[in-house]
Structure 1
Amino acid sequence: MLKYVAGAKPGKKLPTTERKSSNDYEKSRKRDFQGKWLNIYPWLKYENNVMYCSVCRVQSMKTKQHESLAFVKSTDNFKLESVKQHDDSIVHKRYIEIGEAKSQPSCKSKAAEALRTLHESQHNSLAIKFRTAHALAKTHMSFRTYSTICVLDEAKGLDVGVNYRNDKAVASFTKAIATVVQRTTVEKLKNTQFCSFTIDGSTDFTGDDLENIYIRTVHSGRVEDTFLHIGCAESGSSKHIHEHVKEVFAKLHITDEMQSKLVGFTADGAANMQGNKTGLATLLKAEWPHLVATHCLAHRLELAFKDAV
């Protein structure tokens, strides 16, 4: 351009100085560890002029993995950016989760929570089935209707599960309920000073003769009659019924309780129960001389009614 301008002369060339690039500046820059980072990142440790991640180092030693990471070994690259990158890394977050899970009580862990949720769901479905079993037993309904009731509960939106939905299951549930109730009755017996028992015969649909045993106890001035046991004696003789009663006491582990607390016995007026020579009352009095044997008032009323009509 200057050649086209009259009298124009080129200017002097100024000396130039070398300018350092940003990379060269970063390489030569000396960085110091910032103590405030320790408050921001609790996992960060600073020792002997190096920093490292305490969580990743411990977990890496246990798993034998990621041992070559800078924050596992240690680093003197005191850049906030590198600290942030490690804090956001997948490995670090995973090790943090493992550490937190192990530091918590086992009952509060995620696995325990998942198991608790599963158990709660199973518990709720079993509770529904147990209530159904109890209702069938109380109303003398056939166990064969149990599966139909489960289908009906499911149609109502209740979660009854897919297991324990046959007549064998409901029989097991009923037996379990009976065991718990029987245990409660035994506890009543152990917490009373005196007791008596009533026995009466019955027949089931198969024709077997059954013996029903009830216990009478007193608690805080309140008299309570509670069903204790039903079962078959070898025969209807007083001897076999007496043996059956003793076996029931032994089976329920209340022999000692009955030995010290039994004061009364009640049954109908049949010879095998109230006979003066070989009746059950006589056999019991041989072991409990103080025993008061009573002819059941309900049976006496029934006999009186029959005589009246």
Structure 2
Amino acid sequence: MFPDSVIAQGLEMKRTKCTEIAKNLGTCMTNDLFEKLKSNLFSIIIDESTDVTASKFLTIIVKYFDFKNCTIKTRMLDLIDIYEGNAENVGSSGEVLFKKLIEILEAHQIPLSNFIGFAADGASNVMGAFDSLSSRLKETLPGITIFKCICHSINLCSSEAAKTLPRQCEDFIRNV
């Protein structure tokens, strides 16, 4: 793995040590991201997904400009089990998602004034005109820019368009 380092070539790890190193590196990278968000403007993209155990998660992705490297960075900020926690802060309602998102930012002293953009799918709990995550963001952060995620919109359009094709076309493409 490291042909130019005699020390690294002698490195051996089993599952326990490797797991601990991965956790510690993850913590360091996350803390570094929190520090960058304290001094940079950023946007958040969210999506809910269900894993194979039927647990629902909220993935929070952040985009910001890294002045040190002069590049736009996209990083995962957090992955939250939305049905874990106390009874009033559980679920996928606009109110609960808003609370969870703000909690994360406030817990790490990230100024809400740096949060300038938001994107998500078009679900009513997230993008609805009333009582949604985005309506609460607009109320709390009047200057925020909110977009429906174009990837979700394109996926919905292409899924509907594909329904007009004969089933053999889809089977053929999957087989290829």
| C-alpha distance in structure 2 between counterparts of 1:275 and 1:238, whole Å | 9
Which of 229, 235, 247 pairs up with 2:78? 229
SS across alignment from 1:247: helix
Supply the distance in 2 between the matched residues of 1:214 and 1:246 (Cα, whole angstroms). 14
Code of the aligned partner of 2:19:
A
Unaligned runs of 5+ in 2: 1-6, 83-89, 163-176
The answer (yes or no) to whether the contact 2:64–2:74 under 8 Å persists in 1 is: yes
Distance in 1 between the 2:25 and 2:59 partners? 18
Q: Return the alpha-carbon distance in structure 2 between the equivalents of residues 284 and 189 of structure 1.
A: 18
Residue pair 2:38, 2:109 contacting (<8 A) in 1 also = no
TM-score (norm 2): 0.74
Q: Which structure 2 residues correspond to residues 1-309 of structure 1 after superposition, within 5 A? A: 158-160=10-12, 165-167=14-16, 169-192=17-40, 194-220=41-67, 222-233=71-82, 234-254=90-110, 257=111, 259-309=112-162
TM-score, L = length of structure 1: 0.44
What is the RMSD computed on CA atoms of the aligned residues?
A: 2.1
What is the Cα deviation at residue 190 of structure 1?
2.7
What amino acid does structure 1 have at the position aligned with 2:10?
A: L
- After the TM superposition, list the runs of 4 or more consecutive aligned residues in structure 1 that deviate by more than 4 angstroms: none
Would the alpha carbon gap of residues 219 and 170 (structure 1) be closer, same or farther in structure 2, given more than 3 Å must change?
Answer: closer
For residue 294 of structure 1, what is the amino acid of its counterpart? Answer: F
Equivalent residue of 2:96, what SS? helix
**Between structures 1 and 2, the one with greater strand share:** 2
Partner of 1:40: none
Larger RCO (alpha carbons 8 Å, 6+ apart)? 2
1:171–1:238 distance in 2 versus 1, CA, 3 Å: farther
SS of residue paired to 1:223: strand
Q: Structure 1 pair 182/159, CA: closer, same or farther in 2 (3 Å)? A: closer
The residue type equivalent to 2:107 in the other structure is K
Conserved? CA contact 2:39–2:114, under 8 Å: no
Q: What do residues 176-203 of structure 1 show as CA deviations (whole Å, max 9, x unaligned)?
A: 12111112212322332x2211111122
The alpha-carbon deviation at position 159 of structure 1 amounts to 4.4
CA distance in 2: counterparts of 1:179 and 1:275, whole angstroms: 34
Greater Cα shift, 179-188 or 216-225: 216-225
SS in 1 for 2:76: strand
Deviation at 1:239, TM superposition (A): 1.4
Distance (whole Å) between structure 1 residues aligned to residue 11 and residue 113 of structure 2 = 49
Code of the residue aligned with 2:45 in structure 1: it is T
Higher helix residue share? 1
**Gaps (5+ residues) in structure 1?**
1-123, 129-156
In structure 1, the residue corresponding to 2:36 is in which secondary structure?
A: helix
CA distance in 2, matches of 1:217, 1:229: 15
Could you give the per-residue CA deviations for residues 206-236 of structure 1, whole angstroms, max 9, x where no partner exists?
A: 2211111111112356322221111112212
**Aligned residues, how many?**
147
The question of whether the paired residues in 1 share the 8 Å contact of 2:38 and 2:114 is answered with no
Higher-Rg member (1/2) = 1
